[in-house]
A and B are shown apart, each in its own frame.
Chain A
Amino acid sequence: MIRLEGVTRTYEVGGRPVHALAGVDLEVAGGEYVSIMGPSGSGKSTLLSILGCLDRPTGGTYRLRGADVGRLGEDELARVRRNDVGFVFQSFHLVPRLTALENVELPMVLAGLPRAERTRRAEAALGAVGLADRAPHRPEQLSGGERQRVCIARAVVLRPSILLADEPTGNLDSASGNEVIGLLESLNREGLTLLVVTHDEAIGRRARRRVRLLDGRVVGTAPEGAP
């Protein structure tokens, strides 16, 4: 499903190159549950952005379901983001003036689905994350855990094959954090490929595969069952 070969990402900061990713090789099969861990500045978020086609590698190749992402045009990248990838953000990124239901509808609005179908699917997605009764509420009227669940509903409403979560519990207390992780894992059990970026060891350890990054390189992967 995902295949990275020698992927680098270099930024210019003050005229000097900064290597956020310095040659990453990574392969993720469909339906896997992978955590990406590492200290701040190790390149976790950059890796996730590249995996989600929000960013393009400066070197190496990234193949997503066989397609070389580096060769795709802007519009094709947008289509990949829309159809193949779902994002869950640490800070939720809900549109404050829209209700929970409208936030979940947003990707379908952009995709141009008819209104009736949008509402039906958004309601179903909110129901699946246990928020059917919160549909008419705005984000500010929801708790942190509820907001993150709205965000998850929005990420999966167009049935992507990959779910990318960037510190999904970073802004949550441990109870709602566990709830959110539980929800993500149940989606993974239904076949969704799940990649979670975190620096929380306890959460990282729950993944069947752990990828450790340091200074833009993979310094270790722990397979399923390892300590």
Chain B
Amino acid sequence: MSLLDVLRFAGTALVGHRLRTGLSLLGVAVGVAAVILLTSLGEGARRYVTGEFALMGSNLLIVVPGKTETTGTLPLVGGTTHDLTLADVEALERRVSGVVRAAGLTVGSATARAGELSRDVTVAGTTAEWKPLRRLTLRAGQFLPAGRPEEAPRVCVVGARVASELFPGRNPLGELLRLGDERFRVIGVLTARGVSLGLDLDEVVLVPAVQALRMFDRTSLFRVLVEMRHPADLAPGKTSVLHVLKERHGGEEDVTVFTQDAVVSTLGTILGMLTLVLGGIAAVSLAVAGVGIMNVMLVSVSERTREVGLLLALGAARRQVLRLFLAEAALLSTAGGAAGLLIGLGGARAVRALFPAFPVAPPAWAVAAAVALSVAVGLVFGVLPARQAARLEPVAALARR
């Protein structure tokens, strides 16, 4: 009996019970689709995060005011944290070796007005160095001017949506924008990019850091980004940054420095684990679907006992009967797997269409594993019913009512 004949015969048996076949097929399909979709989401999260960090530029040191590291000793009572200032940024650029550039950042929100129109925006105060550091591009005009940050003029660069909503149908370049009580001249428009590292760059208004600090009545920067020349510069750079700032802050180590690659690789590992766990959870549903297949096949065997008797009377070897029922289970789970594959890939594509910024992608290993698992589930859970069919005694099987 050829494999094709085995499959054809098993196929007719499945087609004969459409509802039952359809339902157990659905079970497998849901399992496979779940594996693919959940791992896609996990993988999407991983790619999103690592992609965001890559866009920020590599070889980055991130300086945050305050000490987040815990040490064995209690902090000194009354120990003050010093402000992280633009002068600190300048000092870092000058004194730390291997630095390409450094940029300070301060963030707040304000109401922006242009003529009759107004909207809430995120105001980010920074310097000219921020553009290359964050790999930003402009749609029109120019970025914040370089030069001494303390003497920065009142100019601003607006995000794409800010530009289109506050200056509908107009060229915003050269126009005046009011942020709170201050007026800024628009000198540039950012290319639309969406949310990046928690900051919606389309909703942002970039102003010189010194202006932003004054507007929000602050003295300290939110953080300082330092770009190093080589990955090898990161470790000595970190030490050097801490040293310089400690010296400038009266001998107190009151900042925390992260290296970007450490953050990325930690997040990547965590999210990779998350993907694996999600896939594992979804795989459980495949096992459940396998039990469903076993149920269906057991019912099928007991319903078709007389048919098994007939096959034996017609000269089928027990091996052949086993193979026929096993093929039926495998066919069921493979068809379910194929359907699940389509649903899963289609679902991933739909999510990607709905949320273009989130790079949902089914990992190849998960797709392969899900499909292989669905076939294996059919074979494994099909063995018991098929063996039951193959063990039937022909006389008793034929006589069964």
Chain A positions near chain B (C-beta within 8 angstroms): 46, 49, 52, 54-55, 74-75, 78-79, 81-83, 87, 89, 93, 95-98, 106-107, 109-112, 154, 158
A97 touches B12 (CB 8 A): yes
> Can you show 5 pairs from A to B with CB atoms below 8 A apart?
A49-B394, A74-B317, A78-B312, A81-B315, A82-B315
Q: What's the minimum C-beta distance from B217 to chain A, rounded to whole angstroms?
A: 83
Can you name 10 extra interface pairs (CB under 8 A) apart from A52-B313, A109-B1? A54-B312, A78-B316, A78-B318, A81-B314, A81-B315, A93-B398, A96-B16, A109-B5, A110-B316, A112-B1
What B residues does A93 contact at CB under 8 A?
A: 306-307, 309-310, 313, 398
B136 within 8 A of A: no
B13 within 8 A of A: yes
Knowing A54-B395, A55-B395, A93-B398 touch, does A110 contact B12 (C-beta < 8 A)? Answer: no
What A residues does B312 contact at CB under 8 A?
A: 54, 78, 81
A89 touches B315 (CB 8 A): no
What B residues does A98 contact at CB under 8 A?
A: 12
Alpha-carbon gap, A59 to B315, bound state (A)? 24
B315 touches A110 (CB 8 A): yes
Alpha-carbon gap, A111 to B5, bound state (A)? 11
- Count the B residues whose beta carbon is within 8 Å of the partner chain — how many? 26
In the complex, which residues 355-383 of chain B have their Cβ closer than 8 Å to any Cβ of chain A? none
A97 touches B317 (CB 8 A): no
Q: What's the minimum C-beta distance from A117 to chain B, rounded to whole angstroms?
A: 13
What B residues does A75 contact at CB under 8 A?
A: 317, 319
Q: Which residue of A lies closest to B311 (CB)?
A: A110
What A residues does B314 contact at CB under 8 A?
A: 81-82, 87, 106-107, 110, 154
B313 touches A112 (CB 8 A): no
What B residues does A46 contact at CB under 8 A?
A: 395
What B residues does A111 contact at CB under 8 A?
A: 1, 315
Alpha-carbon gap, A78 to B322, bound state (A)? 14
What A residues does B9 contact at CB under 8 A?
A: 109
What A residues does B73 contact at CB under 8 A?
A: none
B16 touches A97 (CB 8 A): yes
Q: Which residue of B lies closest to A52 (CB)?
A: B313
A110 touches B313 (CB 8 A): no
Q: Which residue of A lies closest to B309 (CB)?
A: A93
Alpha-carbon gap, A70 to B176, bound state (A)? 106
Q: Which residue of B lies closest to A112 (CB)?
A: B1
Q: What's the minimum C-beta distance from B159 to chain A, rounded to whole angstroms?
A: 65
Q: What's the minimum C-beta distance from B21 to chain A, rounded to whole angstroms?
A: 12
Alpha-carbon gap, A93 to B310, bound state (A)? 7
What A residues does B318 contact at CB under 8 A?
A: 74, 78
B2 touches A81 (CB 8 A): no
In the complex, which residues 1-49 of chain B have their Cβ closer than 8 Å to any Cβ of chain A? 1-2, 5, 9, 12-13, 15-16
Knowing A55-B394, A110-B1 touch, does A81 contact B313 (C-beta < 8 A)? Answer: yes
Q: What's the minimum C-beta distance from B310 to chain A, rounded to whole angstroms?
A: 5
Alpha-carbon gap, A11 to B307, bound state (A)? 23
A78 touches B12 (CB 8 A): no
B320 within 8 A of A: yes
What B residues does A87 contact at CB under 8 A?
A: 313-314
What B residues does A95 contact at CB under 8 A?
A: 307, 310
Alpha-carbon gap, A83 to B317, bound state (A)? 13
Q: What's the minimum C-beta distance from A142 to chain B, rounded to whole angstroms?
A: 17
Q: What's the minimum C-beta distance from A195 to chain B, rounded to whole angstroms?
A: 15
Picked from B313, B315, B319, the residue with its CB within 8 Å of the CB of A83 is: B315
B395 touches A79 (CB 8 A): no
Alpha-carbon gap, A42 to B398, bound state (A)? 19
Alpha-carbon gap, A110 to B12, bound state (A)? 15
Alpha-carbon gap, A81 to B317, bound state (A)? 10
Alpha-carbon gap, A158 to B315, bound state (A)? 11
Alpha-carbon gap, A61 to B49, bound state (A)? 80
Alpha-carbon gap, A46 to B394, bound state (A)? 12
Alpha-carbon gap, A164 to B93, bound state (A)? 102
Q: What's the minimum C-beta distance from B321 to chain A, rounded to whole angstroms?
A: 10
Picked from B13, B309, B310, the residue with its CB within 8 Å of the CB of A97 is: B13
Alpha-carbon gap, A87 to B12, bound state (A)? 24
What A residues does B1 contact at CB under 8 A?
A: 109-112
Picked from B13, B315, B319, the residue with its CB within 8 Å of the CB of A79 is: B315
In the complex, which residues 247-282 of chain B have their Cβ closer than 8 Å to any Cβ of chain A? none
A112 touches B395 (CB 8 A): no
Picked from A49, A78, A109, A154, the residue with its CB within 8 Å of the CB of B317 is: A78
Q: What's the minimum C-beta distance from A45 to chain B, rounded to whole angstroms?
A: 8
Alpha-carbon gap, A106 to B309, bound state (A)? 13
Q: Which residue of B lies closest to A55 (CB)?
A: B395
Alpha-carbon gap, A106 to B320, bound state (A)? 13
Q: What's the minimum C-beta distance from A163 to chain B, rounded to whole angstroms?
A: 13
Q: Which residue of B lies closest to A82 (CB)?
A: B315
Alpha-carbon gap, A81 to B309, bound state (A)? 12
Alpha-carbon gap, A53 to B242, bound state (A)? 92
Q: What's the minimum C-beta distance from A123 to chain B, rounded to whole angstroms?
A: 18
What B residues does A82 contact at CB under 8 A?
A: 314-316
What A residues does B316 contact at CB under 8 A?
A: 78, 82, 110
What A residues does B12 contact at CB under 8 A?
A: 97-98
Picked from A78, A96, A97, the residue with its CB within 8 Å of the CB of B315 is: A78
What A residues does B394 contact at CB under 8 A?
A: 49, 54-55
A-facing mask of B376-394, CB < 8 A → 1, else 0? 0000000000000000011
Alpha-carbon gap, A74 to B392, bound state (A)? 13
What A residues does B309 contact at CB under 8 A?
A: 93
What B residues does A78 contact at CB under 8 A?
A: 312, 315-318
A110 touches B320 (CB 8 A): yes
Q: What's the minimum C-beta distance from B15 to chain A, rounded to whole angstroms?
A: 8
What are the 5 tightest A-B residue pairs by CB atom distance, in nearest-first order? Answer: A82-B315, A97-B16, A54-B394, A78-B317, A107-B314
